[in-house]
Structure 1
């Protein structure tokens, strides 16, 4: 079982290591330490380390916490080890955290149109594809722009999934 804790500057190397990993680089923005530190100081953001057996297993960045609409953005996430359903379990845990702990009315996220694995996990977790922004996201690791897929999940939909 994975549990969250607040990230600290000591975690930045772990976060950047995942974001810069060749499997993730085309899909995740790698921010420098100064940018990551801004999230730690921002009351509308939570940069979290997800631990398994006391060791870092992944990270997630939630933004727009406290927005008047109740929306919460799941801006960035990555796991150190994937496969065997770990991605779905991770996204489900992040979603539960957003609704239960961050009191979201709606959780939204985006994904590269070329990240079929992420799209499959978001679909399985109950997120709905709400739109596509064509050739919207410049990805230096790919040398081109890609489509950006927009996903959302409302609290009532999440509650129905939990029954």
Structure 2
């Protein structure tokens, strides 16, 4: 695990925190908001895994994985969000959740998608060894009626293993 960041499985009691982080100013440009009912259904489903990230004894963000029961070895990072973006915790949290996905599931491929306008996140994912697989053109509707492309990226288990055992 990355120093300073811990993960714990979220419970229904954590949903107000998750929803508050989703509502953080600026997140709406990159994160879809879900209703409490949607979160409750996903939290109860074996196809999803919800995590709260903690540092220094305080909650600092959350992550949601999906496709947890998918039989072909794919796991998806559905959402990763920090309560205070720009505080230097994004990379450590991304490493911790990537390590968790490969170390605790039979994932062969861990994938995600990001809005094409989220250059900071795309740069982070690429710098952590994720490969751009393609683009889903105009796949996400926006509140203003426009649509946005999603950039699909992934890491394969052998790539993750090489990064863990290689230099640096």
Give the total of aligned pairs.
Answer: 162
Distance 2:160 2:97 in 1: 12
Is the Cα–Cα contact under 8 Å of residues 44 and 64 in structure 1 kept in the other structure? yes
Distance 2:37 2:87 in 1: 35
Paired position in structure 2 for 1:122: 125
Query: Equivalent residue of 2:84, what SS?
Result: coil
Distance 2:90 2:61 in 1: 10
Paired position in structure 2 for 1:16: 19
Paired position in structure 2 for 1:109: 112
Distance 2:48 2:60 in 1: 20
Gaps of 5+ in 1: none
Is the Cα–Cα contact under 8 Å of residues 24 and 83 in structure 2 kept in the other structure? no
Is the Cα–Cα contact under 8 Å of residues 114 and 150 in structure 2 kept in the other structure? yes
Gaps of 5+ in 2: none
Q: What TM-score does the superposition give when structure 1 sets the normalisation length?
A: 0.93
Query: Equivalent residue of 1:25, what SS?
Result: helix
Q: What TM-score does the superposition give when structure 2 sets the normalisation length?
A: 0.90
Task: Tell me how far 1:84 sits from its aligned partner.
Answer: 5.5
